[in-house]
A and B are shown apart, each in its own frame.
Chain A
Amino acid sequence: MEINISINGESRTFDVEPRTLLVHLLRDDAGLTGTHVACETSICGACTVLLDDKAVKSCTVLAAQAQGCEVTTIEGMANGEQLHPLQEQFWEKHGLQCGFCTPGMILTANQLIASNADPTDEEIRHGIEGNICRCTGYQNIVDAISAAAAQMRD
């Protein structure tokens, strides 16, 4: 079936099987491999993208459900050379090790900050409980999100 989606601001058309998951469309058809698959059960959040500015787990969204929508992936977060504050702060605070959870973590955090510009540590920890990181113990991720929120308020 034919699907029209705007990905990171660019309108694109794909011809995919009706059962195709959004994450596979993004990775295999659109060639955007920054979105990762790590559990296929919408628990770990590695596949998180923004669908019309709302964070969704793209391993449990059909590509067809994204018809006519605006999708933002990790590849669309930086503004040219200028990193997004979340990207900057994940780097600054050592908020990643193997990096596999990072794209999903950043997109979830983006939504968190959009709904709460000045989150407490506890609110951040609660806000990312749908994203699993096996490397960092989360502390530096919490610090990165907190610092990015501050930067975005300025």
Chain B
Amino acid sequence: MAQAPKFIGAPIKRRDDPRLIQGLAHYVDDFNPPGTLHMACARSPYGKANIRSVDVSKAAAADGVVAVYTYEETKGIGPVPVGAVLPDAKVPVQPILADKQVLFAGEPVVAVIAETRYGALDAAALVEIDYEPLDAVVDLEAAIEPGSTKVHDDYESNEAFKWGLAGGDVEAGMKEADVIVKEKMTNVRVAPLALEPRGVLAHYLPGEDKMTLWTSTQVPHKVRTLVAGQIGMPENRMRVIAPEVGGGFGSKLNIYREEALAAFVTRELGVPIKWVESRSENFLTTIHGRGQVGEIEMGLKRDGTITAFRYNVLADCGAYYQLLTLAIFTLTGLMLPGPYKIDNIEMNATGVFTNKVATDAYRGAGRPEATYILERMMDIAAVELGMDPVELRRKNFPDKSEFPFGTSAGLSYDSGDYHLALDRALEAADYPAMRAQQEEARNDGRYLGIGFSTYVEICGMGPSAALGGQGWESARVRVEPTGKATVFSGASPHGQGQQTSFAQIVADGLGIDANDVTVVHGDTDVVPYGVGTFGSRGTVVGGSAVVYARDKVRAKMAKFAAMEFEADENDIEFEDGRVFVRSAPEKSAGFADIAMMAYSAIALPEDTDPGLEETHFFEPSNFTFPFGTHIVLVEVDPETGDVEILRYVAVDDVGNMINPLLVHGQIHGGIAQGTGQALEEEMLYGEGGQPLNASFMHYALPKANRLPRFELLHTTTPTDVNPLGAKGVGEAGTIGSTPAVVNAVIDALSPFGITHIDMPLRPERVWRAIAEKRA
């Protein structure tokens, strides 16, 4: 682009919003084709049980019930797909409906198809399943003890896999250290809780031999390829549509049993089948995130130089794997050195089966776990060394001149200026004043704490080879005969706003108005084969594909213009809806006039075909590595243990921003979720494996009155990994916030001699920690 960008970088309000604010958008449950039947499932109330018998006679005889399915009728459906593999991992087969045993509460045993929503639920309640309850495995550490009750009877133990990552020589690094700090830490299981639960509507037309599957997903093409495979249908006879999707956070980056079930049943019955998850089912059967308990050792020199870092961790898999369960822990390992120069690192992970739903990707997916333990250890070490936590961090940052920076985990960080982000945050927070405020408060018997998190994350997933395949993204750009442009993206946004930001990208490159660009996504019959939206990749990888496709179209248009103006195609410029010759601007035509030339095709430039439609598959050469500093000021009430966040300052460097309004929105939401994990969120299970808090009434998640106003700032260090220079922002807030909040609370409690409390820092837990020290 010769001219300065007009739309890229501007905080343009979203073009998706008018339908959403007027209740005119269509999520899965908003579609009701005539004749739709409803599906409901009878599910295990036990963490583990033998199924002695299943009697569906009453359900089948109920009013309006059309069909009932058990394991017997559905055993031909392929098992739930597992997409990530680790060498020597045990891979249990997850059936669509349970046969002889159920292995987690919520596991479906029978599916009932009825004429109405209520009728299906009624009939599911009439299914009689004779269970023999068995001891369930709930606690991660107990599960791995020799002789523990087993999740899978046919495995020797609950060990699912062993996986390790090492860089440098941790033993040597520990010997070199003057001080070794150790701590045991937990990243509890949390529930992603997209506000729209999952849902699927499957409609098979026998005459056309064609199925349409509307599903609330982040990855429509993956659903098509894998579900078609499960039910033995050629994938090009299946059309998957991700309509409006009400949030995902990784939980809809998956293939679930109900998708294959609905697809199977509609093919049998030839009528539309709808299943919509209840919130209770969402807690029980949609993947959870995190779930790690580990022991950490960090060696440091007296001057603060980190010499070694080791993480021995148990990772909770659940009873079965979902699509990417086995990949999440590896991301923890890759993220282990964080933003510091740590030459010697080691992670030893043991995967553990438990009688719970699978863990999988939840916003950040493995990286928040690493950042959390590392940032906590930095604070623990700072106390041990008597150093300011800021100085300890600074001491170990690579300088900006050292980028690209190779880490001991084997990654090459693209670009960064960690000192600058930290400086900017300290300045914005007025750190000395904050410390003075803390001191003053302490003198008044109040407990204020300051928490830091300096983080880096792995985004823009990612090179295909590094991800075990499919790290690219696709886009097609079409300039229509009337001069409008349409973008078809393989990414599948579900709240991120790429209907706006991709329009900005195309408008700038073609010199047209962003309102003249329409963005289409989430329909496998319409968009090129795509990977989907997750891992902070939508703009970074998907947007880059848009750039290249746009530039191909532009180059072709330039040929038509050059022919028209008898000029050199390299001398053609696009600006304000005009196409003209740069060296002779009086030779000019409307953008739409040149577009029409390409479609009328009465005359064609040499070696040029008609039409203006180009596709690009963008394969990134590396991940991107956004970074930043979050500073949090909290006050803890020692009498109640309640934590109030007084200030939240975040400096995030996400490279170039396409739309700062959307970037801020992503960071706000990420901080809220990470804060939720720090202070409130946790899936709790009883001994029998039943979740104890599987409703919004019992599972605490952030509400408006518990969160502060976030003060956001940025530094901008572009990346050269993609043509946008953008690094990705979907997960930054979640990764930066959790340790910053916990560090602030622990700092507040330092007068009591408290050095660590495991998350979530609910009032009771904080109060107990204080009471213990006071006793």
Q: Which candidate, B14-22, B140-148, B514-522, B574-582, is the interface stretch facing chain A? A: B14-22
From A36, A106, A124, A134, B27 is in contact (CB under 8 Å) with: A36
Given contacts A132-B703, A138-B672, contact A100 B26 (CB under 8 A): no
Which A residues touch B18, using CB under 8 A? Answer: 83, 91
Give Cα distance in the complex from A149 to B481, angstroms.
45
**Residue-wise interface mask of A (136-148) relative to B, using a CB-CB cutoff of 8 A (1 in contact, 0 not):** 1111111000000
Question: In whole angstroms, what is the CA distance A90 to B16 when docked?
Answer: 12
Within 8 Å by CB of A38, from B25, B197, B668, B670, lies B197
Kindly state the separation between the CA atoms of A134 and B676 in the bound complex, as whole angstroms: 10
- Report how far A123 CA is from B378 CA in the complex, Å: 38
Does B225 sit at the interface, judged by CB under 8 A? no
Residues 1 to 47 of chain B near chain A (Cβ within 8 Å): 13-14, 16-18, 20-27, 29-30, 32
Q: Is A64 an interface residue (CB 8 A)?
A: no
Shortest distance from the beta carbon of A83 to any chain B beta carbon, whole Å? 7
Give A24 to B117 CA distance when docked, in angstroms. Answer: 10
| Stretch of B455-463, B490-498, B682-690, B719-727 contacting A (4+ beta carbons < 8 Å) | B490-498
Q: A34-B24, A94-B665 are in contact. Are A28 and B707 (CB under 8 A)?
A: no
A20 to B118, CA, bound (A): 9
The closest CB in chain B to the CB of A91 belongs to: B17
* Cross-interface CB contact of A129 among B193, B246, B703, cutoff 8 Å: B703
Q: Is the interface of A mostly helix, strand, loop or mixed?
A: loop
Chain A, 98-130, contact with B by CB distance < 8 Å: what is the 0/1 string?
111111001000000000000001101110110
| Alpha-carbon gap, A28 to B276, bound state (A) | 13
Give, as a whole number of angstroms, the nearest-CB distance from A29 to chain B.
11
Question: A72 to nearest B CB, angstroms?
Answer: 11
How far is A83 from B673 in the complex, measured between Cα atoms in Å?
Answer: 31
Across the interface, which residues of B come within 8 angstroms of A35, CB to CB?
A: 23
Contact call A98/B21, Cβ cutoff below 8 A: no
Chain B residues within 8 Å of chain A by Cβ, number: 57
Complex Cα gap A55–B254 (Å): 36
CB distance from B29 to the nearest CB of A (A): 7
A19 contacts partner chain B, Cβ-Cβ < 8 Å: yes
Contact of A98 among B196, B662, B668 (CB under 8 A): B196
B668 touches A137 (CB 8 A): yes
A77 within 8 A of B: yes
Given contacts A43-B697, A103-B23, contact A139 B495 (CB under 8 A): no
Specify which of B14, B20, B23, B247 lies most central, judged by the most chain A CB atoms within 10 Å of its CB: B23
Within the complex, the shortest CB–CB distance from A119 to chain B, in Å, comes to 12
Residue of A nearest to B31 (CB): A33
Contacting residues, chain A, for B21 (C-beta < 8 A): 74, 83, 87, 90-91, 96, 99, 102, 106
* Contact yes or no, B705 A129, CB < 8 A: yes
Choose one: B22, B697, B703; the contact of A74 (CB below 8 Å). Answer: B22
Does A52 have its Cβ within 8 Å of any Cβ on chain B?
no
A97 touching B278, Cβ below 8 Å: no
Quote the shortest CB–CB distance from B19 to chain A (angstroms): 8
For residue A130, give the distance in angstroms from its CB to the closest CB of chain B.
8
Chain A 26-56 interface 0/1 with B at a Cβ cutoff of 8 Å (1 = within): 0110001111111111011010000000000
Report chain B residues within 8 Å CB of A128. 704
| A125–B705 touching, CB < 8 Å | yes
Of A37, A99, A136, chain B has the most CB atoms within 10 Å of the CB of A99
Question: A58 in the interface, Cβ–Cβ < 8 Å?
Answer: no
With A and B bound together, what is the CA distance between A81 and B29 in angstroms? 26
A17 touches B118 (CB 8 A): yes
Using a CB–CB cutoff of 8 Å, the interface residues on chain B facing chain A are 13-14, 16-18, 20-27, 29-30, 32, 117-118, 193-197, 244-247, 249, 278-280, 494-497, 661-662, 664-665, 668-673, 695-697, 701-705, 707, 709-710, 733
Between-chain CB contacts (< 8 Å), 13 pairs: A20-B118, A40-B279, A74-B21, A87-B22, A91-B18, A99-B16, A99-B21, A100-B195, A126-B705, A134-B673, A136-B665, A138-B668, A139-B709
